[in-house]
């Protein structure tokens, strides 16, 4: 497998990928059009913030499976387009947490003591000691908008400076707030009480322009604002007006709405400290994120492990081998259900019983949906299948029950379509071999092969003989034959593996055979035939 490193990063990233047996090309600085010309030959791509992974680049990335971002923000990656094309997008949220948090604290202290402006004045030969009257941070309130990985480190450092920390974060639980020693508040409360406001949230539709003119008007007069998170969280025109009016005493900004920021009105104000997006710019942080992204990408490409993905459920390297046989089972059951469903899907219920319920079932659900939707549409995989299902209004219900029944583990899929409701269930034999054990409530045990025939018929004497004669006359060789029925004289199911695809003319003969209610071929092209007695 081949990986492209498309931005300049620590040499350790390429070293780790090569040590794991991957082929690596380093091509930093490519424009999107140049990148689109070569990206089709790569399975993975590692980037920082410079390379733009656009929808056009992704359209050309015919073999691409994963994009790894050495850092937190993914503003340069079209994540919805990647998801639609089945490409996993990973970031490294922990590699630069300390570095970015330290920069926020440094910016706050520089702002409080007017250090940059005092430095320039002193270098100019002035000695304006009385001009630069700062403020202490001790016993002041720091209001944090966002309190995740970086925010919690900032809170810890601020507490070391004897600050009170207020946190607005809809995802911050009461227990977590207590653990890190912050006071959970609503946004308006934070704005009204904070002496310093620091932002530590990603840029989303909910957080964009969170500090606008209306919000800034609610702040305490003399507040100081620090943003080392993302440009676009603050309306810069509103902040400029508040600084000029004196309502906001100062601002320290490492990020801007448009970057590189070379001509901002904010730069002309003496009470603004500005740095060129240096939050993650330390030797340690760049080494950490390079190592982390390389390890994550190698684990995904070689082991199927998914870590810090933004558009797919996580699967640890430890769990991947445990999940692998269940992934095969989920794929087969989903594919089976998708092929026997002949009208519009309304809902899918996926039940995990026994040992499998104790595992991470989210990837299994994604694989079931991939198998279910693949017969109906192209370009579906486990990354985009959940999104595709939701876009089409298909209700997805997942349930787990660790109590085992007749089997140590059981996965059951119930598909409701416009025409009818159908079920298929399966298990693992010897914890490795997938088996179908139930179809529409009828018990049977069958191992699926590349080519299968599925029949529903009335349970009457002579049917099996007639079926065998028809297939024999058509020169269709039977590999395995599995039967089940709901009751004597009721409905029966035949699930037959054959050596090769059955011609449509033979399928039509099967459908016209006496007692047959349904006959259809099933294909599982990813499966490899094993030797069986015919």
CA distance linking residue 36 with residue 59, whole number of Å: 8
pLDDT at 378: 62
Structure tokens at 213: 């003119």
Residue 346's H or E segment, with its range, is strand 345-354
Whether the pLDDT of residue 20 is over 80: the answer is yes
> Phi and psi at residue 470, in whole multiples of 5°?
-60, -45
CA 30 to chain CA mean position, Å: 26
CA distance linking residue 366 with residue 350, whole number of Å: 10
Which residue reads 């080494």 in tokens? Answer: 287
Half-sphere exposure of 156 (CA within 13 A, CB side): 13
What is the band of 526 on the pLDDT scale with cuts at 50, 70, 90?
Answer: low
pLDDT at 516: 94
- pLDDT, average across residues 265-272: 96
Q: Which of 283, 248, 239, 419 is nearest to 341 (CA)?
A: 419
pLDDT in tens, 197-215: 999 998 888 899 999 999 9
Whole-prediction pTM? 0.65
Residue-range domain boundaries for the chain: 2-95+284-303, 97-274, 316-440, 449-534
Which of helix, strand or coil describes residue 410? strand
Whether the pLDDT of residue 528 is over 60: the answer is no
Contact 372, 381 (CB under 8 A): no
Whether the pLDDT of residue 533 is over 50: the answer is no
Which of 132-141, 303-312, 345-354 shows the lowest mean pLDDT across its residues? 303-312
pLDDT at 534: 31
pLDDT at 290: 94
Whether the pLDDT of residue 530 is over 60: the answer is no
- pLDDT, average across residues 114-122: 95
CA distance linking residue 201 with residue 233, whole number of Å: 8
- pLDDT, average across residues 396-407: 91
CATH 1.20.1270.10 fits 316-440, yes or no: no
Query: Three-state SS across 237-257?
Result: HHHHHHHHHCCEEEEEECCCC
Q: Domain spanning 97-274: which superfamily? A: NAD(P)-binding Rossmann-like Domain (3.40.50.720)
Residue with the bigger pLDDT between 66 and 418: it is 66
Whether the pLDDT of residue 248 is over 50: the answer is yes
Is 482 among the catalytic positions? no
What is the rounded end-to-end Cα distance, in angstroms, of the chain? 38
- pLDDT, average across residues 45-61: 93
Angle between helices 11-19 and 283-303 (to 10 degrees): 20
DSSP-derived pairing of the beta strands 66-69 and 88-90: parallel
pLDDT in tens, 85-100: 889 999 988 888 899 9
Total Cβ atoms within 10 A of residue 183 = 15
Q: What is the Cα Rg of the chain in Å? A: 30
pLDDT at 71: 87
**Same fold across 97-274 and 449-534:** no
Contact 349, 337 (CB under 8 A): no
CA distance linking residue 280 with residue 117, whole number of Å: 24
Catalytic, out of 157, 224, 230, 328: 230
Catalytic, out of 20, 277, 328, 435: 277
Sequence-distant (≥ 6) Cβ neighbours of residue 483 within 8 angstroms: 444, 464, 492, 493, 494, 495
CA distance linking residue 221 with residue 238, whole number of Å: 15
CA distance linking residue 165 with residue 215, whole number of Å: 19
CA distance linking residue 387 with residue 85, whole number of Å: 11
Opening angle at CA 316, ends 312 and 318, nearest 5:
155
Catalytic, out of 34, 259, 284, 418: 259
Whether the pLDDT of residue 111 is over 90: the answer is yes
Structure tokens at 276: 């060129």
Whether the pLDDT of residue 270 is over 70: the answer is yes
Whether the pLDDT of residue 60 is over 60: the answer is yes
pLDDT at 280: 85
Total Cβ atoms within 10 A of residue 359 = 18
Sequence-distant (≥ 6) Cβ neighbours of residue 265 within 8 angstroms: 236, 240
236-272 burial, b at 16+ Cβ within 10 Å, e below that, comes to bebbbebbeeeebbbbbbbbbbeeebeebebeeeebb
- pLDDT, average across residues 19-29: 96
CATH of domain 449-534: 3.30.70.260
Burial class (CB in 10 A: 0-12, 13-18, 19+), 167: buried
pLDDT in tens, 436-460: 999 999 999 999 999 999 999 999 9
Q: Which residues sit opposite 323 in a β-bridge?
A: none
What is the band of 529 on the pLDDT scale with cuts at 50, 70, 90?
Answer: very low
Whether the pLDDT of residue 341 is over 60: the answer is yes
CA distance linking residue 267 with residue 100, whole number of Å: 22
Is 117 among the catalytic positions? no
Q: Domain spanning 2-95+284-303: which superfamily? A: NAD(P)-binding Rossmann-like Domain (3.40.50.720)
pLDDT at 295: 94
DSSP-derived pairing of the beta strands 88-90 and 183-184: unpaired
Residue 512's H or E segment, with its range, is helix 504-512
Total Cβ atoms within 10 A of residue 80 = 13
CA distance linking residue 254 with residue 156, whole number of Å: 21
Whether the pLDDT of residue 357 is over 90: the answer is yes
Which of 66-70, 134-138, 339-343, 508-512 shows the lowest mean pLDDT across its residues? 339-343
> What distances in angstroms separate CA 319 from CA 95, 184, 301, 386, 410, one per listed residue?
23, 35, 15, 21, 18
Q: Which residues sit opposite 347 in a β-bridge?
A: 395, 416
pLDDT at 343: 65
Does a cis peptide bond (omega within 30 degrees of 0) precede residue 415?
no
Which of helix, strand or coil describes residue 3? strand
Residues in the chain: 534
pLDDT in tens, 144-168: 999 988 999 999 999 999 999 999 9
Q: Which of 414, 270, 228 is nearest to 333 (CA)?
A: 414
What is the percentage of the chain residues whose pLDDT exceeds 70?
Answer: 97
When the pLDDT of each residue in the chain is averaged and rounded to a whole number, the result is: 91
Is 277 among the catalytic positions? yes
């Amino acid at each position: 497998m081949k990986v492209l490193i498309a931005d300049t990063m620590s040499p350790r990233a390429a070293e780790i990928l090569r040590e794991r047996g991957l082929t690596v090309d380093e091509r930093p600085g490519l424009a999107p059009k140049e990148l689109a010309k070569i990206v089709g030959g790569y399975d993975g791509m590692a980037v920082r913030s410079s390379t733009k992974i656009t929808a056009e680049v992704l359209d050309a990335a015919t073999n691409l499976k994963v994009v790894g971002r050495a850092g937190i923000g993914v503003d340069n990656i079209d994540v919805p387009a990647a998801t639609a094309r089945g490409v996993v997008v990973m970031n490294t949220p922990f590699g630069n947490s300390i570095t970015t948090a330290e920069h926020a604290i440094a910016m706050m202290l520089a702002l409080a003591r007017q250090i940059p402006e005092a430095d320039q004045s002193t270098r100019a030969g002035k000695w304006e000691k009385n001009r630069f009257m700062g403020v202490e941070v001790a016993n002041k309130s720091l209001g944090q908008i966002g309190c995740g990985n970086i925010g919690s480190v900032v809170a810890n450092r601020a507490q070391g400076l004897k600050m009170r920390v207020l946190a607005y974060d809809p995802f911050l639980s009461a227990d977590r707030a207590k653990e890190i020693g912050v006071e959970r508040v609503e946004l308006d409360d934070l704005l009204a009480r904070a002496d310093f406001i620091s932002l530590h949230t990603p840029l989303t539709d909910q957080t964009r322009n969170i500090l606008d003119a209306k919000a800034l008007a609610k702040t305490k007069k003399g507040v100081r604002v620090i943003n080392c998170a993302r440009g676009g969280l603050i309306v810069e025109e509103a902040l400029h007006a508040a600084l000029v009016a004196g309502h906001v005493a100062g601002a320290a900004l490492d990020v801007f709405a448009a970057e590189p920021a070379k001509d901002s009105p904010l730069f002309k104000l003496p009470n603004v400290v500005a740095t060129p997006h240096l939050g993650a710019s330390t030797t340690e942080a760049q080494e950490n994120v390079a190592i982390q992204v390389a390890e994550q990408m190698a684990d995904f490409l070689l082991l199927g492990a998914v870590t810090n993905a933004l558009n797919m459920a996580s699967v640890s390297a430890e769990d991947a081998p445990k999940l692998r046989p269940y992934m095969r089972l989920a794929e087969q059951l989903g594919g089976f259900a998708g092929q026997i469903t002949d009208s519009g899907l309304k809902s899918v219920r996926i039940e995990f019983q026994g040992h499998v319920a104790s595992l991470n079932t989210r990837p299994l659900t994604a694989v079931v949906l991939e198998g279910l939707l693949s017969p109906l549409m192209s370009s579906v995989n486990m990354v985009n299948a959940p999104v595709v299902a939701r876009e089409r209004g298909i209700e997805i219900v997942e349930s787990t029950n660790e109590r085992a029944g007749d089997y140590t583990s059981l996965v059951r899929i119930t598909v409701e379509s416009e025409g009818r409701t159908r079920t298929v269930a399966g298990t693992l034999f010897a914890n490795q071999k997938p088996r179908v054990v139930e179809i529409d409530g009828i018990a049977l045990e069958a191992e699926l092969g590349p080519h299968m025939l599925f029949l529903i018929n009335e349970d009457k004497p002579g049917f099996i003989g007639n079926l065998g004669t028809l297939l024999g006359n058509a020169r269709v060789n039977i590999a395995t034959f599995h039967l089940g029925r709901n009751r004597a004289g009721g409905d029966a199911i035949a699930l037959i593996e054959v050596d090769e695809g059955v011609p449509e003319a033979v399928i039509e003969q099967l459908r016209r055979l006496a007692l047959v209610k349904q006959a259809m071929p099933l294909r599982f092209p990813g499966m490899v035939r094993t030797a069986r007695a015919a």
